[in-house]
Amino acid sequence: MPIRPIRRIVTGLDREGRAVVVSDGPAPHVRTSPYRPGVAFTNLWTTAAMPVPVRGLADPVTPEMRLEPPPNGSNFRIVEFAPERSYIGDIDAEQARAAFAAMGGAAHALAEGEKSLHPFMHRTKTVDYGIVLSGEIYLVLDDGEALLRAGDVCIQRGTNHAWSNRSEAPCLVAFVLLDGDRL
């Protein structure tokens, strides 16, 4: 299944201080993993400080990807989750860690032997705002799950979790991850 390109428009100021479009086109930073077919992370923007500098023309998103944002920063991305029925039963803990490594987050995969209701359970020290743009997806937690559909929002606060597309159609979710501090 081909990955849907995400159009990214970035604004800025010209030399006279007028608002202009700095770039307009497919987001150039897309990551996939052979261990999770049809899942694509499109990184749209990254910040590394609060307050966020709003000036400058440089694109802060780099080809390297980290699952979590930089300290005091944020990540904005859209993730396309393909249906997982055809492969999810074949994923073991080692393959899940390799998939997270491809996404810059090997350390966030659950350790071998930890209780997991889904092979891609992981935890981060972030507050994540997830907005389902299309399709449906299950948020899997240590003790239960919730089905989210287009228009639903999840605020995920540093918990063990996974995203499971059990439908027959792709699901598109926009995520904003904010650096957090585990208490």
Assigned domain for 142 exists: yes
Percentage with pLDDT > 90 across the chain:
51
Assigned domain for 22 exists: no
Per-residue burial over 91-110, b if 16 or more Cβ lie within 10 Å, else e, is beeebbbbbbbbbbbeebbb
Assigned domain for 35 exists: yes
Assigned domain for 18 exists: no
Domain ranges, residue 170:
28-179
89-112 tens-digit pLDDT: 888 888 888 888 877 776 666 655
**CATH number of 106's domain:** 2.60.120.10
Single-letter amino acid, residue 8: R
Stretch 62-71: mean pLDDT: 82
Assigned domain for 17 exists: no
Assigned domain for 19 exists: no
pTM of the model: 0.90
Tally of structural domains, the chain: 1
